[in-house]
Structure 1
Amino acid sequence: MRARLKDVAAKAGVAPNTASTILNRKPNSWASEETRERVFKVAEELNYRPSRTALGLRTGSFKAIGLVVPDLHNPFYTAFSDCLERALRKFGYDLILEHSREDMDYQSKCLLSLLDRQIDAVAYFVNDLDKHLDFLAKAKEADKTVVALTGPPPKGAPHLPFDSIQIDFTSGFIEAVDHLIELGHQRFAFLSALSKGQSADGRPEMFNQLLQARGVTEENNIYLTCSHELEDMHRVFKEYLESQPPQRHPTALIALNDLAAIGAMRAAADCGFSVPGDISVVGVDDIPLGCFLPQRLSTIRQPIKDMAEATAMMLLNRLRSSSESSTAVQSKCFNTQFVCRETTSAVSSG
């Protein structure tokens, strides 16, 4: 049976309130050093651990943060979760994970479930802002701190009305496209993994404008979508390659996460293409696995550790602050960077 506070107090010969004050290291304790040592010794002997629920109700803090990740199979999210947990642990907070399985409807359920948990705040990746405005309103009603990880608002749009860690992919994509064009590529494919219930939004138009500004015609820019399953990433790109005559095959592929790039590379090999000899491939995220493939993956890097630490500090600063100025929306934006490795090369003369 789990030891209770009153069991510690009885064995140590003090009142429960005195034991609570000592064990919680409150500054208003008048107990002698001998009494404090005795209480801590008894607590250790009884393997006493304070109830998080009781402590949270008493102090207003459960010392726990909820994080909703879209896909635990994607090493990017596991790496981010690990970095965030390490950052929060330094301040005595636990991290509670929810896995939404790249399903927009299920993600909404995960978010609402966290509001009923004994946690102080929520962090999550926003795939579709419009679908999450209702959750943000409910979180405010529940007095839960929320930090969203999302892209920055479009130019000219109003600032986001909530605390956010923003990831701007613009610079990374421009660097990657310019690198590929310098290598002579003029036929591009983009492979985008979408969550269930998620639309492509303006991504096809964005890539088309990016390439057209660099002289690549619209017919030489194909946008493909797949699910977040590796098998589907492989299938979609393989079927596309098999459906096209040789003169229509893309010479460069940008996959919108590293796993999609890996699936596409396998599809290219299955169709008799070499990487990067026939098709140059670029991923997004810079997962550690990418450096240990037969050809090290060129990618658009997200600064995972910096993003996680900034998320932790934004959450903790909001939880600690009670001043009127704390109502101002907080945001921090990180840029991405193209990292050239071994899966891109000049267009084959053959």
Structure 2
Amino acid sequence: MARKKVRLKDVAEKAGVAVNTASTILNRRPNSWASKETEERVFEAAKVLGYRPNRAAVALQAGRFSTIGLLIADLKNPYFTQFASLMGAALEEKGYNLVIENWRNDLEREKKLLEDFVHRDVDGVAAFVSDVGTHQEFLEHQSKLGFPIVAYAMPGAGLAHVDLVIPNFEMGLRQAAEKLHELGHRKFVFLSARSEGQRVGMRPALFRDAIASLDAGSEVEVIACGPSMENAREVGLRVLAGENRPTAVVALNDFTAVGIMRAATELKLSIPGDLSVVGIDGVPLGAQLMVSLSTVAQPLEKMAAKTVEMLIARIDGEEDQPQQRAEFPTEFIARESIGPVRS
């Protein structure tokens, strides 16, 4: 037999108070004139009966849901889980909850979830989208309507109204290029791990330009693969076989860099003796691998905190406040996965 739902009226009757009084006390509204004894009686009645307030009704009264949405590309990628953990902790300090949706590297699902999120019981959304340009019309429209959205974009993103958090990879990739060049590397592969139909983005070009500025004779081949670790492993088995293989691979993210490292191991190549590997993102897992992963690290904690700050400012502020933009430099962290080229 289904359990009968306990109503606010039932709590009020058990506590011997009016329904409005019970509502004021249970929602801890500051305009309560009830005595401490009455408050204790109402809370005790709610506990005994197992009363659970209707969150939608409470949100309607308060004018907000105290919940933020986070849209990510891949729940399996530790970059996104680390960011979600940091953002959730920062929101909790502000009295907000976090709801996560995962578009699973599927661009059609991404579009649907982004458009659905604004109609959910959330006060704002932070969105990792495949390409801000693709979603520009929707993002701009929602921002103009006053719905708080923070998107993650590359420098130069042409959005005029949407609040943006921008990781700038130019410095970190230049540092990586300089270190690899110093170690004698001249033949590189940049593994561009993207979803089907997704544009390449700026990271490969930034690395290629950095290498070209150091040595015009160096070779950087950009090779596409899917977004999973297994996709990177399969490409790695092909690219690293034979004598004409690169001496260094830079992967679009740490996640797929692990796939390249696995392929090298299967081919009996030592890291870093036969192959140097660099990832991008700076997830904590990279430092704990058997061969720790060198990476171009994003300041994830600062980015998550700034995201929360932007959303809360938009929720609490005026609708016509100017666009908020925060740009964060990246930094190359050299670890065990890189070394000098063997003569």
TM-score (norm 2): 0.93
Instruction: Tell me the equivalent position of 2:168.
Output: 168
Residue identity opposite 1:11 in structure 2: K
Instruction: Tell me the equivalent position of 2:297.
Output: 301
Matches of residues 206-285 of structure 1 in structure 2 within 5 Å? Answer: 206-217=206-217, 220-242=219-241, 246=243, 248-285=244-281
Contact 2:185 2:340 in 1 (8 A): yes
Q: Distance in 2 between matches of 1:278 and 1:41?
A: 69
Contact 1:191 1:224 in 2 (8 A): yes
Instruction: Tell me the equivalent position of 1:114.
Output: 117
- The one of 64, 67, 74 equivalent to 2:77 is 74
Report the Cα offset of residue 142 of structure 1.
6.1
Q: Percent identity?
A: 42
Q: Distance in 1 between matches of 2:206 and 2:175?
A: 15
Instruction: Tell me the equivalent position of 1:94.
Output: 97
- The one of 323, 335, 342 equivalent to 2:329 is 335
Residue identity opposite 2:95 in structure 1: G
Residue identity opposite 1:332 in structure 2: A
Measured against aligned partners, the alpha-carbon deviations of 1:278-304 in whole angstroms (never above 9, x if no partner) come to 111111122222122221111111122
Residues 205 and 169 (structure 1 numbering): CA distance in 2 closer, same or farther, change over 3 Å?
Answer: closer
Q: After superposing the two structures, state which structure 1 stretch, 180-189 or 195-204, moved more.
A: 195-204
Instruction: Tell me the equivalent position of 1:18.
Output: 21
Contact 1:194 1:228 in 2 (8 A): yes
Q: Secondary structure at the match of 1:327?
A: coil
Provide the aligned C-alpha RMSD in A.
1.9
Contact 2:171 2:330 in 1 (8 A): yes
Measured against aligned partners, the alpha-carbon deviations of 1:218-273 in whole angstroms (never above 9, x if no partner) come to 6x11101111121111111221223xx52x32111111111211111121222232
Instruction: Tell me the equivalent position of 1:321.
Output: 317
Report the Cα offset of residue 319 of structure 1.
0.8
Q: How many residues align?
A: 340
Q: Distance in 2 between matches of 1:263 and 1:208?
A: 22
Residue identity opposite 1:347 in structure 2: V
Report the Cα offset of residue 46 of structure 1.
2.2
Structure 2 portions without partners, runs of 5+: none
Q: Distance in 2 between matches of 1:336 and 1:23?
A: 47
Contact 2:132 2:151 in 1 (8 A): no
Contact 1:298 1:340 in 2 (8 A): yes
Contact 2:161 2:323 in 1 (8 A): yes
Residue identity opposite 2:35 in structure 1: S
Q: Distance in 2 between matches of 1:53 and 1:226?
A: 44
Q: Secondary structure at the match of 1:97?
A: strand
TM-score (norm 1): 0.91
Report the Cα offset of residue 159 of structure 1.
6.4
Q: Secondary structure at the match of 1:225?
A: strand
Contact 1:103 1:197 in 2 (8 A): no
Structure 1 portions without partners, runs of 5+: none
Contact 2:189 2:249 in 1 (8 A): yes
Q: Distance in 2 between matches of 1:75 and 1:45?
A: 42
Does residue 345 in structure 1 map to residue 339 in structure 2? Answer: yes
Contact 2:280 2:295 in 1 (8 A): yes
Residues 293 and 205 (structure 1 numbering): CA distance in 2 closer, same or farther, change over 3 Å?
Answer: closer
Q: Distance in 2 between matches of 1:271 and 1:209?
A: 30
Q: Secondary structure at the match of 2:34?
A: coil
